[in-house]
Amino acid sequence: MNPRDVRKYLFDISRACRRLGKFTAGRTFADYQSDEMLRSAVERQFEIIGEALNQALRQEPALRAAIADAGRIIAFRNQLIHGYADIADDVVWGVIETNLPAIAREVEQLLADRK
């Protein structure tokens, strides 16, 4: 079985970042808290980001230097999956507001560099 190309993982991360932007555009934290489907969709995209990054780093560990919060991103994914009962809505929303733009920029730059 051939391992997936690292670019595919980076593309998956980029797509999940775009989806998160689309899902949350014009939304507030109160909207997020009151919309079960939105919370589920957001958490799923963060799970994809964390898992795709984890797989990309397994194939190419040097990527860690290009993604500032790689370890935290993967840990967040693990918390969403394994500690789902303890997820705080304000933490997830905070990641959207403060960390998502940087993740998206870093991954877009990596994709551009690999064309």
Would you say residue 1 lies in a domain?
no
What's the rounded Cα separation, in Å, for the pair 29 and 48? 22
Taking only the tens place, the pLDDT of each residue in 39-50 is: 999 999 999 999
- What is the number of structural domains in the chain? 1
What is the domain extent for residue 31?
6-113
How many C-beta neighbours within 10 Å does residue 114 have?
A: 10
Regarding predicted confidence, which is higher, 115 or 28? 28
Give the pLDDT mean for 93-111. 96
Would you say residue 89 lies in a domain?
yes
List the one residue out of 89, 5, 8 whose CA is nearest residue 43: 89
Supply the pTM of this predicted model: 0.94
